[in-house]
Chains A and B, each alone.
Chain A
Amino acid sequence: MNKFYESSEIKRIVREFIIRNFAYGLNNSFHLRDDESLMDAGIIDSTGVIEIISFIESEFDVFIALDEVLPENIQSIESISQFIGKKLRKVAG
Chain B
Amino acid sequence: MNHLSDELLNEYLDNALSNRASVEEHLAQCMDCAARLTALQTLFAEIESLPEVTLSRDLAAPVMLKIKGASLSPRWLTLTIVLQTALALIAIIITAPLVKQFAASSVSVLQPPSLTEVFIRLQSQWVLWLDMLSQLRMPVMPEIPIIEVSSLYFLLTLAGVSMVWLVGNGLLLRNQIKQ
A and B together in one complex: no
